Structure 1
Amino acid sequence: MPATRSAVGTALFTVPLVLGLVGGAAVPAGAAPDSLTCRGVGVDPDARVRHRTETVIHAPLATVWKLQTDVERWPSWQAPVQSARRLDHGPLRAGSAFHWTTPLPPNPATGATTLEITSTVEQLRRGSCIRWTGPGVADGLRIDGVHVWNFTRVKGGVLVRTEETHTGPQVDADVPTATKILAAGLEGWLHDLKAAAEGYGDGLQG
């Protein structure tokens, strides 16, 4: 999420801090060799706060891709996203940017507040992967995130994998708590994407 909330925005959703909601597992710091990439570029290899997870969505790839890249419609299927606005026009592509907001639960760095995220797409391969970066900012808090998404057709649907890292003085000061918040955000995002795509209908073919 760095240049974008990107990686970061995801992380701080007000969903229960429960790991493994859709089968994910935290990736220990330093375990970057097998990190997800888009066009050969991955998350921050030096970040201490990171999470990686995946799920199979039983829907066409075209449906999953449309939901994920139609940024301004995120609030319609992700309750934690309060607002989302594209800063450019047309299909999401490398160089696209968007501003979005999400509630931030009380944490060691700040009380309950709103996280303002500005994300920039750094790499994208249509129907295959997206990598965005950007800062998430709130009163007394700044998080720089890097977020990678991979989409792969599998029997019966799409394997969606995602990985995100966060850096910044506040998150680095309490890595376990920051990692739990990030994990909750990513698990919640995948859960909502799966529910939205599988309930979308048969109108799109992947």
Structure 2
Amino acid sequence: MSSILVVHGSPRGERSHSRRLTEAFITAWQAANPQSLPTRREVGRTVMPAVNEAFIAAAFYPEPQARPLTMQADLALSDSLVAELKAHDRLVISAPMHNFGVPSGVKAWIDQIVRIGLTFNHSLDNGVSQYEPLVLGKKALIVTSRGDFGFGPGGPLEAMNHADTWLRTVLGFIGINDVTVVAAEGEESTEHSFARSCAEAEQRLLALARTF
């Protein structure tokens, strides 16, 4: 039985296009997987703490099993977020493009889950860094909306897309390489063209829900 973690990154509620498209996908996915319930993690409309000095000191403590209680507390949220990610075999990230990147809540969530010893390992081979991903066997879907057209592969604005492209990179770093991106483009264009893009994205998501 598949399990799915949904990370909502938009700071908007019902006005969010990426959120609406993601929920349409989840509804269809539940219809195809009636025994499974999605887990939703809200990072767009709640405050996701940014990494600070105490977090870094605790995360890189030389003896993880002997961390002081204060350091354990500094990592408590991160530990729970990593456990939540590992407990699901499917991941959906709903993340509109903000200023060519991801919303701040999504960036903060990523910083909380990319953890040495938990989601990746690091070693040296003759002085050269070697990285080992530890989050294996999962699939991911990124649902995004963009203000203009052409940010996708081969598009005229592709080089300015540091949103889903960055997410692909960081997910691959921890071991999630099976990643699908579905985008609605043109929110700042004409209403008709954006509505058409949203409809096309939704149809693709509904079809994907049967096999994801």
TM-score (norm 2): 0.25
Structure with greater strand share of residues = 1
TM-score (norm 1): 0.25
Larger RCO (CA within 8 A; separation ≥ 6): 1
Which one has the largest radius of gyration? 2
